[in-house]
Amino acid sequence: MKIGKEDYHKYTNLYTKQNWLLQKKDELAELIEFCGDRESKDLIFALLERFHYLQPETYNFLLNEMSEYIVDHSGFSQDSTQLLSLTFDDETDSSQKILYEVRSYVNKRGWTKLKTVNLFKESITNFQKGKTQILIVDEFVGSGKTLRGRIRFLRKHIPGKFEVKCCFVAGIKEEIEKLNEEGISVFCPMALEKGVSGFYKGEELTQAENLMLNLELRLAQNINKKDLYTYSFGYGGAEAIYSLEGCNGNTPNSVFPIFWWLEDIQKKIRRTLLTRIETGF
Amino acid sequence: MTRFEKSILKDLYESVAGLYAFTFYTRYKVAPDEISLFITKYTKKGVINYEGDKLTLTAEGRNIILKQLFSIKASGGKFSTIPSEFKIQKIEINSPYLPNINNVSAEILKKKEEGGIETSIKEV
């Protein structure tokens, strides 16, 4: 591969900061080539330099932080708490992964009899058994749309008084603040700025947004029943630059689709940098 | 330490104000992922600094290289150096030379039936 001076230095700096990309050289080269112009390349390089690709050490640290919140700071008691995953149907998801993995950390802190619930609807049955303090756990909070929907569900279907708090591995800082202002208590040890609007201001922001939109216009506008429009700039416009793939996780749909959308406008399969595993995709 | 690492360190030692990473691509075709691994490795060891796309030796790195004196051969390869067992006392150019016939391989010599000896080496 022949490479110019500017690209060479961008690649070098990127590899130096993001070692995980050394395993994805071909995918990265394809993405950079897809960009075409200098400005788009620079935007992608900048996003990747700031990307949070969690490694097991960081992930374990965050799980430990979550467990500390659950046991020591949530204000809930073990006897009346149900640790609840956001999973709504019979498909496995990252919420169940977090529920399973945080459980051992919580156990080590002394909550050995904590009730865990891996199907959201089952929270109602457990409420009736006296588990009136509900602690929702999940991997990532992007726009908060899903979480708001689930809280509405609880308020509608739980027949009595209950308390609910939420705990995420990571999330978008701006949205976490909004949720807390709305009265939905969210603990998140890794609060991230939005990938584009959190870093650029004024004209630079407009330019970066236009560049990203132009890149998205060169992706397939739908795949099976999924519309790219729904995921533009990440689901709910979350602008996330984060993935748990380095810890056997999935890439959230809150991440810019340029990194994981499987086809380009000509329906040609892309070798994507990240993988989003989702039903019907 | 790989060959290109030695070459890069030698080049950095000889440079006055450091070298751009791209220089090593033009000189040795070192790919970005390789140079980034080099940067990570030697930055951690305190041998180099990497700033503004440029590599420079630290004072400590310069001392280490000076002490170790990396043995970088001018034109590498195992065929560029004569193994010691094949080295003998040098003789002057154009001076007469007669090999010791007992040390010459039988394949080179063709012994005549009468006992005389014919060699492929011309008499001088």
Nearest CB to B22: which of A1, A5, A16?
A: A5
* Region for residue B81 given its phi and psi (left: phi exceeds 0; alpha: psi -120 to 50; beta: otherwise): beta
Residue A178 confidence class, pLDDT cut points 50, 70, 90: very high
Q: What is the pLDDT of residue B67?
A: 80
- Which residues in chain B (26-65) have CB-CB distances under 8 A to chain A? 31-33, 35-37, 39-40, 50, 53
Q: Is residue B103 part of a domain?
A: no
- Provide, as residue numbers in chain B, all residues whose Cβ is less than 8 Å from the Cβ of A20: none
Asked whether the beta carbons of residue B33 and residue A13 sit closer than 8 angstroms, the reply is no
- A116 and A131 inside one domain: yes
Asked whether the beta carbons of residue A9 and residue B21 sit closer than 8 angstroms, the reply is yes
- Which is more confident, B74 or A121? A121
- Residue A253 tokens read as 């749909």
Q: For residue B30, is pLDDT > 80? A: yes
pLDDT digits (tens, 9 = 90+) for A22-36: 999 999 999 999 999
Lowest mean pLDDT across A171-180, A220-229, A251-260, B96-105 = B96-105
Residue B97 confidence class, pLDDT cut points 50, 70, 90: confident
- A152 and A203 inside one domain: no
| DSSP-assigned letter for residue B75 | S
Q: For residue A251, is pLDDT > 80? A: yes
- A179 and A65 inside one domain: yes
Provide the β-strand partners of residue A264: A219
Q: How high does pLDDT run on average in chain A?
A: 96
Q: What is the pLDDT of residue B100?
A: 79
Q: What total of structural domains would you count in chain B? A: 1
Q: What is the pLDDT of residue B82?
A: 76
pTM of the model: 0.82
Please write down the HEC assignment for all residues of chain A: CCCCHHHHHHHHHHHHHCHHHHHHHHHHHHHHHHHCCHHHHHHHHHHHHCCEECCHHHHHHHHHHHHHHHHHHCCCCHHHEEEEECCCCCCCCHHHHHHHHHHHHHHHCCCCCCEEECCCCHHHHHHHCCCCEEEEEEEEECCCHHHHHHHHHHHHHCCCCCEEEEEEEEEEHHHHHHHHHCCCEEECCEEECCCCCCCCCHHHHHHHHHHHHHHHHCECCEECCEEHHHHCCCHHHCCECEECHHHCCCCCCCECHHHCCCEECCCCECCCCCCCCCCCC
Of A132, A159, A191, at which residue does a domain stop? A191
- A76 and A139 inside one domain: yes
pLDDT digits (tens, 9 = 90+) for A82-112: 999 999 999 889 999 999 999 999 999 999 9
How far the first Cα of chain A sits from its last, in Å, is 32
Q: Is residue A271 part of a domain?
A: no
Q: What is the C-alpha to C-alpha distance for residues A194 and A200, in angstroms, rounded to an integer?
A: 10
Q: Is residue B9 part of a domain?
A: yes
Q: What is the C-alpha to C-alpha distance for residues B12 and B64, in angstroms, rounded to an integer?
A: 13
Lowest mean pLDDT across A123-132, A181-190, B101-110 = B101-110
Q: What is the C-alpha to C-alpha distance for residues A152 and B81, in angstroms, rounded to an integer?
A: 80
pLDDT digits (tens, 9 = 90+) for A36-84: 999 999 999 999 999 999 999 999 999 999 999 999 999 999 999 999 9
Q: What is the pLDDT of residue B78?
A: 67
Asked whether the beta carbons of residue B40 and residue A16 sit closer than 8 angstroms, the reply is yes
Host domain of residue B45: 3-73
Q: Which CATH number do you get for residue B11?
A: 1.10.10.10
Of A147, A166, A191, at which residue does a domain stop? A191
pLDDT digits (tens, 9 = 90+) for B42-60: 999 999 999 999 999 999 9
Q: What is the pLDDT of residue A220?
A: 96
Query: Which residue's structure tokens are 């691994």?
Result: B37
- Which is more confident, A129 or B99? A129
Q: What is the C-alpha to C-alpha distance for residues A193 and A200, in angstroms, rounded to an integer?
A: 11
Asked whether the beta carbons of residue B32 and residue A3 sit closer than 8 angstroms, the reply is yes
Q: Is residue B57 part of a domain?
A: yes
- A140 and A247 inside one domain: no
Q: For residue B124, is pLDDT > 60? A: no
- Residue A142 tokens read as 């992007």
Q: Treating both helix axes as pointing N-terminal to C-terminal, what angle do B32-44 and B3-14 enclose, rounded to 10 degrees?
A: 70
Contact A142, A241 (CB under 8 A): no
Handedness of CA A56, A60, A61, A66 (dihedral sign): positive
Contact A95, A85 (CB under 8 A): yes
- A125 and A113 inside one domain: yes
- A95 and A165 inside one domain: yes
Q: Which CATH number do you get for residue A110?
A: 3.40.50.2020
Q: Is residue A212 part of a domain?
A: yes
Of A138, A158, A191, at which residue does a domain stop? A191
- A112 and A71 inside one domain: yes
Host domain of residue A36: 5-49+194-259
- Provide, as residue numbers in chain A, all residues whose Cβ is less than 8 Å from the Cβ of B35: 12
- A145 and A175 inside one domain: yes
Looking at chain A, the whole-number percentage of residues with pLDDT higher than 90 is 95
Q: What is the C-alpha to C-alpha distance for residues A269 and A248, in angstroms, rounded to an integer?
A: 23
Q: For residue B115, is pLDDT > 80? A: no
Q: What total of structural domains would you count in chain A? A: 2
Nearest CB to A8: which of B22, B40, B50?
A: B22
- A147 and A62 inside one domain: yes
Q: What is the pLDDT of residue B113?
A: 47
Q: For residue B111, is pLDDT > 60? A: no
Strands in B48-51's sheet, in edge-to-edge order, are B19-20, B54-57, B48-51
- A145 and A233 inside one domain: no
Looking at chain A, the whole-number percentage of residues with pLDDT higher than 70 is 100
Asked whether the beta carbons of residue A9 and residue B20 sit closer than 8 angstroms, the reply is yes
How close is the nearest chain B Cα to the Cα of A211, in Å?
25
- A89 and A164 inside one domain: yes
Nearest CB to B53: which of A1, A9, A22?
A: A9
Q: What is the pLDDT of residue B90?
A: 81
